[in-house]
């Protein structure tokens, strides 16, 4: 194992700890500054702020850093759309319409 790889794990752990400490502190400060005044909610501790960050991560899957996954999934859907036959496209349009979705996914010309 190279010396470079031996430094990656400790640096990653330290980076996560710093990120968690800064994030928890910011969440705590913002919560305690805004929500008790605006909505009459109680102030929270640092550890409750860390728990709130963890809950947001579980519920929303990201901390707002943006991984670009939406662009890649959109590109994959566009590729699949191009490979579909006109009949398959119409079936998909009808299925989306029946469930209240967009009538023409990824198609730049509506009704084509």
17 and 57, same structural domain?
A: yes
φ, ψ dihedrals at 48, nearest 5°:
-70, -35
Same-domain status, 59 and 77: no
Work out how many domains the chain is built from and give that number: 2
Residues 59 and 76 in one domain: no
Which residue did the predictor score with more confidence, 108 or 93? 93
Q: Residue 52's pLDDT is what?
A: 94
Share of the chain above pLDDT 70, in %: 79
* Residues spanned by the domain of 103: 68-112
**For residue 106, what is the DSSP state?**
T
Out of 3-7, 27-31, 93-97, give the one with best mean pLDDT. Answer: 27-31
Residue 107 has pLDDT above 60, yes or no: no
Which three-class secondary structure state does DSSP give residue 52? Answer: helix
Q: What does the CA dihedral 36, 40, 45, 46 come to, rounded to 10 degrees?
A: -50
Q: What is the pLDDT of residues 40-91, one digit of tens each?
A: 999 999 999 999 999 988 898 754 555 555 667 888 888 888 999 999 989 9
Whether residue 106 has pLDDT greater than 80: no
Do residues 58 and 87 share a domain? no
Residues 60 and 93 in one domain: no
If asked whether residues 14 and 54 sit together in one domain, one would say: yes
Q: Is the pLDDT of residue 111 over 60?
A: no
Residues 51 and 95 in one domain: no
Based on the fold, state whether residues 45 and 18 are members of the same structural domain: yes
| Total residue length of the chain | 112
Query: Binning pLDDT at 50, 70 and 90, where does residue 112 land?
Result: very low
């Amino acid at each position: 194992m190279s010396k470079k790889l031996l430094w990656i794990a400790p640096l990653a752990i330290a980076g996560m700890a710093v990120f968690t400490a800064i994030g928890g502190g910011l969440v705590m400060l913002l919560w305690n500054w805004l929500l008790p005044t605006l909505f009459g909610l109680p102030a929270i501790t640092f550890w409750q702020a860390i728990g709130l960050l963890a809950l947001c991560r579980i519920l929303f899957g990201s901390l707002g850093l943006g991984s670009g996954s939406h662009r890649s999934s959109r590109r994959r859907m566009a590729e699949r759309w191009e490979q579909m036959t006109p009949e398959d496209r119409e079936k998909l349009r009808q299925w989306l319409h029946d469930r209240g979705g967009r009538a023409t996914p990824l198609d730049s010309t509506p009704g084509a």
